[in-house]
Amino acid sequence: MSPSVLFVCLGNICRSPLAEGALRAEAARLGLDLIVDSAGTGDWHAGEPPDARAIAVARRNGVDISALRARQVTPGDFRRFTHIVALDHDNLSSLRELAPSRATAELSLLLDHVEGQTGQAVADPWFGDEAGFEVTWTQVTAGARGLAQRFSRTG
């Protein structure tokens, strides 16, 4: 079974679509067969595209996330994906509460997959400016590389 990753933040319009785009790009670069998606713990942005600032920072880095649409995490996601990766502690806590008793997905924080950053949250750029999205892009890219390296080692 191919690894499958669901990235989760609050509204699924900033951090998690950036992480999805970063991992898709890294998997393509390495020739990995991965299923990658993103979702939010909240539903108020369902059906919306990523924030324009997220689209812009991804595009500047050669990744197009403009076709992605926000959705909310579902109970089925906990069995559909092998890994559910939260972007911060609050969302990880929400995921643990939402997980059905028969969940099989491994839960983690994205920066747990970056040497020296275990337990850290990805910066939330929502209330900031373009510079905040650059910081977030740097963090999600590092996390995507760490995950991809893990998958390339384990097959």
Domain 4-154, CATH among 3.10.20.30, 3.40.50.2300, 3.10.580.10, 1.20.200.10: 3.40.50.2300
Instruction: Supply 126's token pair.
Output: 């929502």
CA triple 104-21-150, angle to 5 deg: 50
Model pLDDT, residue 33? 95
Model pLDDT, residue 1? 72
Q: Say if residues 76 and 102 touch (Cβ distance below 8 Å).
A: no
Model pLDDT, residue 100? 97
* Helices first, then strands: H and E counts in the chain: 5, 4
Model pLDDT, residue 89? 98
* DSSP label at residue 51: P
Positions in the chain whose pLDDT score sits under 50: none
Residues annotated as catalytic are 9, 15, 124
The structural domains of the chain, with segments of one domain joined by +, span 4-154
Instruction: Name the phi and psi angles at 76, rounded to 5.
Output: -65, -25
